[in-house]
Amino acid sequence: MRKIKNIMSVVKFYFDVFFALEGNVYRKIAGRQNTTEVCNGRKIKITLIRVTISANRTKENIIMQLRNFEKQDASILADKMYGNLSVEQIEDMIRQWNTKQYDGKYFDMFAVVTSDVIVGMLSLYKIKEKTLHIGPVIFPEFRKKGFAKAAMTLAFDVAKKMGFCTISQQIRTDNVASIALHRSLGFEIVGTPFVNVKGNEVCICEKHFSNDESK
């Protein structure tokens, strides 16, 4: 299996991920393999997942990965996401992302990559102790292909390896597709809807990992 390097600068581990898609629908994870890497003097169990993409009756094995953005990705971000910023401004933003800190808390931004093509981006932000927020954005031309679900599944592995126990998401109540996606990933709505600071009615969806999963 091919090694994917430096998914995170602190925790360096490699994994291939293959997802089983049929049309736009997930079927199942086709295979799984475990290995162990050493980080900061302690062993971390890493899961290697093989996923098969099936579309238009043609099976194609692809590798999806999360990696940190690099300076050379700035022009892609200018085209796909930040058309109002210059390439130089985006390069500076990438440097800030790679400090892995925002407002004194852990923050990370990843490129969502498949077949060497950046199809979106995904952020991780520590809300409080052991609780993380995941923010996936898939670029418009790559939507409805299962990439958001695949990217979030990868992010769960990163979160668990870092010791987080809960993923907490704030979702607009009128975003039916996002709520359905989160439910399919094992999230549950907690509490009652409320109006956030932007004036939108939102609900909180949370997913919890067991103690064994987060070790």
Q: Is 167 exposed, middle or buried (0-12, 13-18, 19+ CB in 10 A)?
A: buried
Q: Is 13 exposed, middle or buried (0-12, 13-18, 19+ CB in 10 A)?
A: buried
Q: What is the pTM of this model?
A: 0.71
Question: What gap in Å lies between CA 204 and CA 171, rounded to an integer?
Answer: 6
Evaluate whether 148 touches 136 at the Cβ level (below 8 Å): yes
Q: Where are the domains of the chain?
A: 165-215
User: What are the tens digits of pLDDT across the range 54-99?
Assistant: 333 344 455 789 999 999 999 999 999 999 999 999 999 999 999 9
User: What are the tens digits of pLDDT across the range 115-157?
Assistant: 899 999 999 999 999 999 999 999 999 998 889 999 999 999 9
User: What are the tens digits of pLDDT across the range 10-26?
Assistant: 333 333 444 333 333 33
User: What are the tens digits of pLDDT across the range 150-205?
Assistant: 999 999 999 999 999 999 999 999 999 999 999 999 999 999 999 999 999 999 99
| Confidence band, pLDDT 50/70/90 cuts, at residue 9 | very low
